[in-house]
């Protein structure tokens, strides 16, 4: 499928959370997010969200200044060059090849890829999940809780459980780990419960986390360094709760290294949180999901406090048979942001999301609102 693009424009939109979100690296309230808008010769618009954070505390190049630089200086020029040479972009693989030589910049690349998927789905008149080979129409979803105090965590958890969510994930850090996990387990003896440390521990203090064994947790997410696979595989031999990787997986190759490091224990003790922006987009994310399924490694789709547009794309991805655990899809209130960019919020019933037949992500961008909230940063005309 050849897509002829007339221009690419990058915007920033400030999204304000209804409830601040706290992790081991800080508290977020307003998130400045880049959006890549691709327009075709025939007037279609494809939109890709890049769920940046205010700074690189989660990992490198997830801050909006880094993403804007990569897009403006390297990625969009590379795509424009390929477009001029080939009289269009021949599909997702052609798009990815145009910027494959650029190292890193996974978040920035994912925004261009998402915009391209949106255009292609519109051109085919199909939902993204059908383009991605999804088969599950209904699946359970969970919420991620970022509270600063035990009281806040319990209040957010009570709300989420009352709304029917099937899985809770709670943020932990040294000094706030076993206590909140135990309190949640006592309150909700049967819920799927998991914790996320966002790389807050090191080799001198990770042993504290052994205090979580016995609480019947589904997983401990990224306890150690953001760029580490090896030490995570080592500690997974000494702790019975499965280790889940987030920050340190950027590609199919990283997932393969993890599977090799865990060896025969991979299907029991290794879980991978697949975040499409962290692995440069949905094409790589799908490859990782399928590769993990082959080895019996469980996967789920992690959020990045995405808008309803980003979450809707992730929900389309969640229809793949390969993805076995509930993803991070909704805030406890059902709506994350004071103002979101879709015409309708995402909803689910009793913690179960059901996908429809709507084209592309299955929700509509509220363009009037987008135009009001978005600040244009730069643009580029395409030739060919
Ligand atoms: O580590 O999963 C994470 C949000 C920002 C940065 C990192 C993480 C998160 C989340 C968000 O946990 C969950 C969500 O979007 O629902
Ligand atoms: Mg995480």
User: Do 112 and 144 share a domain, yes or no?
Assistant: no
User: Do 267 and 139 share a domain, yes or no?
Assistant: yes
- What is the rounded average pLDDT for all residues in the chain? 96
User: Do 98 and 152 share a domain, yes or no?
Assistant: no
Answer whether residue 361 is part of any domain: no
Residues with active-site annotation: 171, 275
Atom from ligand 1 closest to the CA of residue 222: 1
User: Do 9 and 96 share a domain, yes or no?
Assistant: yes
**Which residues is 272 bridged to in the sheet?**
245, 299
Answer whether residue 360 is part of any domain: no
pLDDT > 70? residue 332: no
For residue 31, CA distances in Å to 193, 223, 306 come to: 27, 25, 10
User: Do 159 and 110 share a domain, yes or no?
Assistant: no
State which residues form the domain around 219.
129-354
User: Do 98 and 211 share a domain, yes or no?
Assistant: no
Atom from ligand 1 closest to the CA of residue 221: 1
Nearest to 40 by CA among 147, 107, 118: 118
282-329: pLDDT as tens digits: 999 999 999 999 999 999 999 999 999 999 999 999 999 999 999 997
User: Do 156 and 272 share a domain, yes or no?
Assistant: yes
Nearest ligand by distance to the CA of 221: 2
> Which DSSP letter does residue 104 get?
S
DSSP output for 8-66: EEEEEEEEEEEEEEEETTEEEEEEEEEEEEEEETTS-EEEEE---BSSTTSSTT-BHHH
pLDDT at 217: 98
User: Do 59 and 98 share a domain, yes or no?
Assistant: yes
CB atoms within 10 A of CB 41: 13
User: Do 180 and 243 share a domain, yes or no?
Assistant: yes
Q: Ligand 1 test: best mutation among 143, 328, 351, most atoms within 8 Å of CB?
A: 328
Tokens (6 digits) for 217 = 């947790």
Q: What percent of the chain has pLDDT over 70?
A: 99
CB atoms within 10 A of CB 84: 12
Tokens 């009289």 sit on residue: 87
CATH at 73:
3.30.390.10
Band (336; pLDDT cuts 50, 70, 90): confident
pLDDT at 166: 86
pLDDT at 347: 85
Alpha-carbon span 265 to 272, nearest angstrom: 14
User: Do 164 and 246 share a domain, yes or no?
Assistant: yes
User: Do 372 and 347 share a domain, yes or no?
Assistant: no
CATH at 198:
3.20.20.120
340-382: pLDDT as tens digits: 999 988 888 999 999 999 999 999 999 999 999 999 999 999 9
Note the maximum CA span of the chain.
62
CB atoms within 10 A of CB 188: 15
Tokens (6 digits) for 380 = 């580029």
Answer whether residue 268 is part of any domain: yes
Answer whether residue 359 is part of any domain: no
Total domains in the chain come to 2
């Amino acid at each position: 499928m050849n897509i002829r693009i007339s221009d690419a424009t990058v915007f920033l939109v400030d999204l304000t959370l209804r409830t601040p979100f706290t992790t081991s690296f800080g508290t977020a309230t307003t998130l400045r997010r880049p959006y890549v808008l691709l327009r075709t010769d025939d007037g279609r618009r494809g939109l890709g969200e890049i769920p940046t954070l205010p700074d690189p505390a989660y990992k490198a190049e997830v801050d909006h200044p880094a993403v804007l630089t990569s897009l403006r200086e390297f990625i969009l020029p590379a795509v424009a060059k390929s477009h001029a040479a080939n009289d269009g972009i021949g599909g997702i693989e052609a798009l990815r090849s145009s910027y494959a030589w650029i190292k890193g910049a996974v978040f920035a690349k994912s925004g261009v890829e998402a915009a391209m998927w949106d255009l292609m789905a519109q051109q085919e008149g199909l939902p993204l999940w059908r383009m991605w080979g999804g088969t599950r129409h209904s699946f359970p979803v969970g919420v991620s809780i970022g509270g600063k105090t035990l009281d806040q965590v319990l209040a957010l958890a009570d709300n989420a459980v009352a709304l029917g969510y099937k899985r809770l994930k709670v943020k932990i850090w040294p000094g706030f780990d076993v206590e909140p996990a135990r309190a949640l387990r006592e309150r909700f003896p049967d819920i799927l419960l998991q914790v996320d440390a966002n790389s807050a521990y090191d080799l001198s203090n990770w042993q504290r986390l052994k205090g979580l064994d016995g609480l019947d947790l589904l997983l401990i997410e990224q306890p150690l360094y953001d760029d580490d696979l090896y030490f995570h595989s080592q500690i997974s031999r000494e702790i019975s709760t499965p280790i889940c990787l987030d920050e340190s997986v950027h590609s199919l190759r990283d997932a393969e290294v993890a599977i090799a490091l865990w060896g025969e224990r991979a299907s029991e003790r290794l879980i991978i949180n697949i975040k499409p922006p962290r692995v440069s987009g949905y094409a790589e994310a799908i490859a990782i999901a399928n590769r993990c399924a082959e080895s019996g490694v469980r996967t789920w789709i992690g959020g990045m406090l995405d808008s309803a547009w980003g979450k809707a794309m992730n929900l389309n991805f969640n229809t793949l048979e390969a993805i076995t655990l509930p993803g991070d899809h909704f805030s406890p209130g059902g709506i994350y942001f004071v103002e979101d960019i879709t015409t309708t919020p995402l909803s689910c019933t009793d913690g179960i999301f059901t996908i429809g037949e709507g084209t592309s992500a299955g929700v509509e961008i509220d363009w009037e609102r987008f135009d009001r909230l978005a600040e244009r940063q730069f643009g580029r005309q395409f030739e060919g």
